[in-house]
Amino acid sequence: MTLLQVRGLTIQDRQGIALVDQLSMTLSAGDILGLVGESGSGKTLSCRAMMRLLPGEGLTISGGEILFNGTDLLTLNDKQMTAIRGREIGMIFQNPASHLNPVMTIGQQIAESRRLHFGASHREAHLQAVELLRQVGIPDPLRRVDNYPHEFSGGMRQRAMIAVALACEPKMLIADEPTTALDVTVQMQILRLLRDLRDRLGIAIILITHDLGVVAQTCDRIAVMYGGRLCETGDKRPVLAQAIHPYTRGLIDCQPVSEGGSGRLITLPGQPPVAARFPTGCRFHPRCANATAQCQRMQPAMQTGHGHVAACHHPLSGRENESSI
Ligand code: SF4
């Protein structure tokens, strides 16, 4: 069942530059979608738009629809949107320390949501907080529920923030680089936790990341963005095995190889574009080895290949390479 359908989402800055340009994507209930791209690709901005929380002044959603459970979120007033935010769509961030309240215990922060949204009594909300901490893998939750955020390690704070988000029983979770600040072992545990929550609770998750290794481990589907536009999207396996967009291919080739290989780390040449100087035509053309005059002139339309879709005038044939991730 389709839970989220974004159609033609466009976000402009005050100069009228499309920082996100005609983004379309879907998310089914219980799916994990990896939203991938370098800094400035528009992935976080797009998800902020889904929460109607655009950062900074002068950014506007100038076009498109964000259908959540069939309702266009862009047509809701502030009060209606507040009821959706947190309750239906939760969000977790890279740095939980700045999103947890330092002067409230972890338990109080979870219990507050239970009381507010579900009318739980103080005692019920406290017990539910303990249970949620247990569900996200906090050891000794009966004792830890009364700890403050600074008494938790980085990984435990991330688990606690997930518990706070889950307290509202959302249908969808947006996880914005939730493991970037964590060491590799804790990173694996948090990704496993997200998959486990999807399996047990059926929550749909958008996982924002710049790391294709994270996508390979965790996600069902992938959407790759560059310069505010969608490059390629589809089921994870065919996209990673047979990418047809040169940018997706470049990201795959940049992944470190754990075993075998030459040991040489390939990097994408050039820098991602800044909004004020988005190139004409395909925004990837200055960095693309396959670029032609057509690419410089015309924005490519989405086309299908190997069961997924990509926006490219000269899509690749899609050679097998899943073993490299
Ligand atoms: Fe490269 Fe052209 Fe495809 Fe853009 S449209 S990715 S420049 S080949």
Domain boundaries, the chain: 2-88+170-324, 104-165
**Of residues 74, 76, 78, the one with CA closest to residue 64:** 74
313 C-beta closer than 6 A to ligand 1: yes
Q: 60-68 and 2-12: which strand pairing?
A: antiparallel
Q: What local confidence, expressed as pLDDT, does residue 190 receive?
A: 93
Q: Is 299 in the pocket of ligand 1 (CB under 6 A)?
A: no
Residue located nearest, by CA, to atom 5 of ligand 1: 312
Pocket lining: 223 vs ligand 1, CB cutoff 6 Å: no
Q: Could you tell me the distance, in angstroms and rounded to a whole number, from the CA of residue 176 to the centre of ligand 1?
A: 28
Average pLDDT over residues 274-302: 95
> 267 vs 66, which has greater pLDDT?
66
Does the structure show a pLDDT above 80 at 259? no
| Ligand 1 close to Cβ of residue 295 (< 6 A) | yes
Instruction: State the distance from the centre of ligand 1 to the C-alpha of 196, rounded, in angstroms.
Output: 38
* Nearest alpha carbon to residue 47 among 29, 25, 28: 25
Q: Which two tokens stand for residue 168?
A: 């509202």
Q: What is the pLDDT of residue 321?
A: 52
Q: Is the CB of 246 under 6 A from ligand 1?
A: yes
**Best residue for ligand 1 mutational test, from 248, 290, 294, 296 (most atoms within 8 Å of Cβ):** 290
Higher pLDDT, 318 or 95: 95
- Top mutation candidate among 229, 251, 284 for ligand 1, by most atoms within 8 Å of CB: 284
Q: 2-88+170-324: which CATH number, 3.40.50.300, 3.40.50.1000, 3.30.1050.10, 1.25.40.80?
A: 3.40.50.300
So what's the ipTM on this one? 0.99
The pLDDT score that the predictor gives to residue 323 is 46
Residue 177: both structure tokens together: 């680089």
The Cα–Cα gap between 82 and 116 comes to 13
- Contact at 8 Å (CB) between 269 and 287? yes
Model pTM greater than 0.95? no
For ligand 1, the distance from its centroid to the CA atom of residue 7, given in whole angstroms, is 23
> Which atom of ligand 1 lies closest to the CA of 292?
2
Please tell me if the CB atom of residue 50 comes closer than 6 angstroms to any atom of ligand 1. Answer: no
pLDDT tens for residues 124-143? Answer: 999 999 999 999 999 999 99
Q: What is the pLDDT of residue 257?
A: 62
**High-pLDDT (> 90) share of the chain, %:** 78
